[in-house]
Amino acid sequence: MESTIPSSFSPSTEAVRARSIDWRLGIPTYVYAVVFASLCIVWGLLWDIMWHISIGRDGLFAPPHLVMYVGAVVSGLFSGYQILSMTFRKNHPERAGSVRFWGIFYGSLGALYCVWGAMAMLTSAPFDDWWHNTYGLDVQILTPPHTVLVLGMMMVQFGAMIGVLALQNRTRSQTLANDLDQRRASRLKLLFGIAAGLLLTVLYVLLSENMGKWLMHNSLCYTTAAIAFPVYLLAVGRASLLKNPLTVITFVYMVTLLIPNWSLPLFPATPKLGPVYNPITTYQAFSFPLLLIVPAFALDQLMKRYKGNDWILAGLAAVVFMVLFLAVQWPFGEFLHTSPYARNWFFLSNAWSYDSSPDWKYRYKFHPSLLEPPAVFFKNFGFAILYAAISARIGLWWGNWMKRVVR
């Protein structure tokens, strides 16, 4: 007996179509694309740092740069397509809830950030190449072309986070009537946690010169952390719908940082720029992440239990974050910098750049000039708690704004 089912609707075709819908769970493809682009940017940046401390010389199309360019192109193309689709399809289902700009275009807020960020990143590439050809090698991180690049990178990553956030926030007041809705809501929560963790990783990298293991017994490390981390952590913690958002976000940060730091040293690398004081043969790791996950877990518990005034919450959060950060990072910094048990592939303390002497007497101990008298350290630490309270209050305000983003 012949089948009466048309070939276009055969069970196998329907199964393929169902699987195609299933993996996205109704979430726009561009959202997955921009989160992937954010990951490319982070890992390209980390590879670029390890390239510089292991090889030295690079160029416009060096492999780490190409990975970052992939992130820029992917975010720009997918976000640009979403904007053009909303603009020229007047019956687009998401157009009514989009942002209109320049009087012509329609798009989500996240897509706009991603397009602007991608344009800035791609503009910075030839600008940086011209800068090197004109002025030679960089002697500092934030040269004008690098500043444009960093702003573009963080804008793409912020756009990825906001793109997920808008979709997540639409589920806040919805009744999740079926299994698909519940799975979609769970996927959006996780995607927001990943996007926020990736942006946290870049924030740490940009500030890492003030928080290296050699500075973990100096108040500068804790002052920098007090200014930078509470504002971000409390903002994303308030905006997220995860059960323990800050624990998840800081875990993503640690994994994102550790994967290239553990994997790249397995590959060969030789210096191509002198002077070479340390004749290495493999990539050198960047750094082991800060133990932010410990104070982050405590902040999660505080934010779940305390529902009072945000000014009081900011003060409590500042004390909790700073005290726990000091309690774990001070001894861990001692371990990383001085212990022979940290000089391995896991803790990465044996990594050393090609242009640094391996026999430097302070390679594995704190430099006296970076050690402060206890009175000076605790005075500065007290100010750091104050800075953390201000930072936390701004973060809570920012988080309240992010909870309202639905476009």
CB proximity list for 32: less than 8 A, separation 6 or greater: 24, 191
Q: Do 230 and 127 share a structural domain? A: no
Give the integer Cα–Cα distance in Å for 267 and 282. 6
Residues spanned by the domain of 76? 26-210
Domain boundary (210, 229, 259) is at 210
- Of the pLDDT bands very low, low, confident and very high (cuts 50, 70, 90), residue 334 is very high
Pull the structure tokens for residue 166. Answer: 């808008």
pLDDT at res. 8: 42
Mean pLDDT across 47-57? 87
Number of domains in the chain: 2
Q: Average pLDDT in the 17-44 region?
A: 78
pLDDT at res. 167: 81
Do residue 290 and residue 406 come from a single domain?
Answer: yes
CB atoms within 10 A of CB 195: 28
pLDDT in tens, 289-324: 999 999 999 999 999 998 889 999 999 999 999 999
Answer for the pair 56, 271: CB distance below 8 angstroms, yes or no: yes
Give pLDDT, residue 1. 40
**Cα-Cα-Cα-Cα dihedral sign, residues 31, 164, 405, 393:** negative
Inform me whether the pLDDT recorded for 4 exceeds 50.
no
* Residue 380 forms part of a structural domain: yes
119 with 217, same domain: the answer is: no
What is the average pLDDT across 125-139?
Answer: 61
Question: Are 172 and 226 within one domain?
Answer: no
Task: Check the CA dihedral 252-255-258-264 and report its sign.
Answer: negative
Q: Which of 167, 189, 210 is the last residue of a domain?
A: 210
Instruction: Give the rounded percent of residues in the chain with a pLDDT score beyond 70.
Output: 84
Q: Are residues 161 and 239 in the same domain?
A: no
Q: Ranked by mean pLDDT, which of 16-20, 159-163, 252-256, 357-361 comes out on top? A: 252-256
Residues 338 and 369 in one domain: yes
Task: Please give the average per-residue pLDDT across 6-35, as a whole number.
Answer: 63
Q: Which two tokens stand for residue 315?
A: 């003060």
Residue 118 DSSP one-character state: H
Q: How far is CA 257 from CA 22, 166, 322, in A?
A: 30, 27, 22
Contact 285, 232 (CB under 8 A): no
Task: Clarify whether residues 298 and 151 are in a common domain.
Answer: no
What confidence score (pLDDT) does residue 19 get?
A: 52
Omega before 275 within 30 of 0, i.e. cis:
yes
Task: Give the largest Cα separation in the chain, rounded.
Answer: 92
Residue 223 pLDDT > 50, yes or no?
yes
For residue 370, is it within any domain? yes
If asked whether residues 144 and 215 sit together in one domain, one would say no
What does the pLDDT read at residue 220? 95
Please give the backbone phi and psi of residue 140, each rounded to the nearest 5 degrees, phi first: -150, 160
Structure tokens at 53: 């401390």
Is there a contact between 188 and 240 (Cβ–Cβ < 8 Å)?
A: no
Q: Residue 403 pLDDT more than 80? A: yes
Residue 79 domain-assigned? Answer: yes
pLDDT of the residue at 246: 96
Torsion of CA 389, 393, 399, 404, to 10 degrees: 170
Tokens of 129: 């190449």
pLDDT at 88: 75
Q: CA 404, CA 169: separation in Å to the nearest integer?
A: 7
Local confidence band at 399 (pLDDT 50, 70, 90 cut-offs) = very high
Q: What is the pLDDT of residue 222?
A: 96
| pLDDT, averaged across the chain | 84
pLDDT at 250: 97
Is the pLDDT higher at 71 or at 92?
71
Domain match, 194 and 217 both: no
Q: Is residue 132 scored above 80 in pLDDT?
A: no
- In the predicted structure, residue 11 carries a pLDDT above the cut 50: no
Same domain, yes or no: 174 and 228: no
Same domain, 216 and 102: no
Residue 349 domain-assigned? yes
Which residues neighbour 380 within 8 Å (Cβ) at sequence distance 6 or greater?
219, 222, 223, 372
Lowest mean pLDDT among 120-124, 129-133, 228-232, 266-270: 129-133
In the chain, the amino acid numbered 188 is L
